[in-house]
Structure formats: structure tokens, C-alpha cells
Amino acid sequence: MKKIQISPSILSADFSQLGVEIKRLEEGGADMIHVDVMDGHFVPNLTIGPPVIKALRKQCDLKFDVHLMISPVHKYIESYADAGADIITIHPEATDNLEASILKIRELNKKVGVSLNPESKIDLIKGFLDKIDLILIMSVNPGFGGQKFMPEVLEKIKELKKIQNNNNLDFDIEIDGGINFDNCKDAIEAGANILVSGTTIFKSNNGDIKKNINLLKLK
């Protein structure tokens, strides 16, 4: 079984103190930093772009797990790679040619992530599983933080895990959306090895990040 990793979402951080917040995450034992990029078009919200990521990159040594909820995504991949993303995750629906976008990320020496919304089928990515490093399963409809977890997506994770085992594949399975102390065990048991969490990490237990990360890891 892969080691359980926590990728805190800075969507729930204090945006006026992002550099400080990222340092807190690093000191608290985060495995990577999850950066949600939204364009107000592919999803109904706007967040940060490459200049902010580039500035934050200087603040810590953790991997930047950058989730691009933007369309058309292909022409922006290089900008986020240059800004300091280590993992670039895209949605199949946001590109005209998923294979070309996967190849572009790979050519830029970044890890390839592909995200599936709650209603998106595994069939969208079945032909590319050997070219993907990470599959991000959304357990809420993307666009806003603080939404309620959708337990029905756990079946998708179980199916992915089965495909992975049957075909000897090595991608990470990440889950994002409403992850908290009540459902993290179910997500891990279904097959997820990377948990994205924002509100729970920053707000629970009076903001004790280290404690919250360890609780999510079931420690």
C-alpha cells in the first residue's frame, strides 16, 4: 500500500498571509501544497494565477500540486510549469486533445495529473492510465471550498484501484472535496493515497495544523 500523503489546499488559507500559511503547512508536516486554479469559466470562481505561484514557490521546498480548473487548459500548461508547479492536474473536458496535453506536461518534466469530476466517467481516461502519474477524484463539484463530501465517488476510487492492480499500474489516487476526520478513513480504505483538505486542516482544533494532518493520516 502506498504511503498516505496530505496535500493541504491553500484555498482555505488566509490569502493576506499566504507565504506565512505555506510555512505553517511545511512545519506542520504537509507532504505537498495543493493549489486550486480557477478561471471563472470552467468553474464558477476565480483564484490565483502563475505570478502568485511563482512568488510562493520561493517560500517553501514542498511539491506544488497544481490543479488547473481552467479551459482551454492546453495553452496555459507551460505558464504554470514555469511558475513552479511540480504536478499539473487537468480535466479531460478542458482540453481538445487529452493526449497532447498529457504529452505537453511530460515534456516540461512535470508529473501528469488528470482530474475527474463527480459525474465524469473513468472511460474518459482509460486509454491514458499508463501515461498518468496522478488521478484526482473530485468528491464535490469543483469551484468552491467548504462543500459537503459526496460518498458516491468512493465507488469510482475502488474501480480505479481494481484497474490499477489488475494492470500493474503505479499512479497515485488523490481525493479532493469535503475531506474531514469523519470520511478520511473511508477514502483511504477505498484506495486513495493522497488526501486534499482545506477547511479541516486550517480551522479544526484551533488551527493546529500538525495535529489535523496526523488525524487525517489516521495517526
Q: Which residues contact 42 (CB under 8 A, 6 or more apart)?
A: 69, 70, 71, 73, 91, 93, 94
61 is catalytic: no
Q: Which residues contact 206 (CB under 8 A, 6 or more apart)?
A: none
Residue among 130, 172, 176, 208 flagged as catalytic: 176
The answer to whether 14 is a known catalytic residue is no
With beta carbons less than 8 A apart as the criterion, state whether 74 and 101 touch.
yes
Is the domain spanning 5-216 CATH 3.40.50.300? The answer is no
Residue 68 cell numbers, joined: 488547473
Q: CB-hemisphere CA count at 13 Å for 137?
A: 30
Res 142: pLDDT: 81
Instruction: Quote the pTM value.
Output: 0.96
Active-site annotation holder among 31, 36, 133, 172:
36
Integer Cα distance of 206 and 176 in angstroms:
22
The whole-number pLDDT of residue 144 equals 65
Domain ranges within the chain, ordered by starting residue: 5-216
pLDDT at 146: 66
Query: Cα dihedral sign for 105, 150, 4, 208?
Result: positive
Amino acid 55: pLDDT: 95
Tens digit of pLDDT per residue, the chain (219 long)? 789 999 999 999 999 999 999 999 999 999 999 999 999 889 988 899 999 999 999 989 999 999 999 999 999 999 999 999 999 999 999 999 999 999 999 999 999 999 999 999 999 999 999 999 999 999 998 876 667 899 999 999 999 999 999 999 999 999 999 999 999 999 999 999 999 999 999 999 999 999 999 999 998
What local confidence, expressed as pLDDT, does residue 145 receive? 63
What is the C-alpha to C-alpha distance for residues 114 and 147, in angstroms, rounded to an integer? 21
